[in-house]
Amino acid sequence: MGIDVNASDVRQLLKDPALVEEIAKGVMEDPEALGDLAEDIADELSDVLEDDPEFRAKIIQSAMGNNAFRNKLVKKLAEEMSD
């Protein structure tokens, strides 16, 4: 005996802040779920970076303020120039 559950039923459940909090805690405690979530968000952010020049500029500006990134950039540039 299966109960037919549809998307609107699930959206209704997500209106319960306590349930949403429990789900979030469960995801944070599960390394595989957390990794999947990070991958999904990274994929979406990558799309935004490609399509939004303002967002991309903010990321680049922030990266350029980081010495470790600048060092990595210099090394990559030197590698490119030596090829």
pLDDT band at 36 (very low <50, low <70, confident <90, very high): very high
Residues 43 and 57 in one domain: no
Q: Looking at residue 48, what is its pLDDT?
A: 83
Cβ neighbours around 23 below 10 Å, total: 14
C-alpha span between 47 and 51 (Å, rounded): 6
**Tokens 């699930």 map to which residue?**
10
Q: Give the pLDDT confidence score for residue 67 in this predicted structure.
A: 96
Specify the 3-state DSSP secondary structure of 63: helix
* Mean pLDDT on 50-72: 93
pLDDT on residue 49: 82
Do residue 47 and residue 67 come from a single domain? Answer: no
Number of domains comprising the chain: 2
pLDDT at 1 over 70: no
Range of the domain at 77: 53-83
Average pLDDT, the chain: 92
Cα–Cα distance, 21 to 39 (Å, whole number): 21
Residue 31, amino acid:
P
Q: Same domain, yes or no, for 14 and 40?
A: yes
Give the model's pLDDT for residue 23.
94
Looking at the structure, do residues 5 and 15 belong to the same domain, yes or no? yes
Tens of pLDDT, residue by residue over 7-33, are 898 999 999 999 999 999 999 999 999
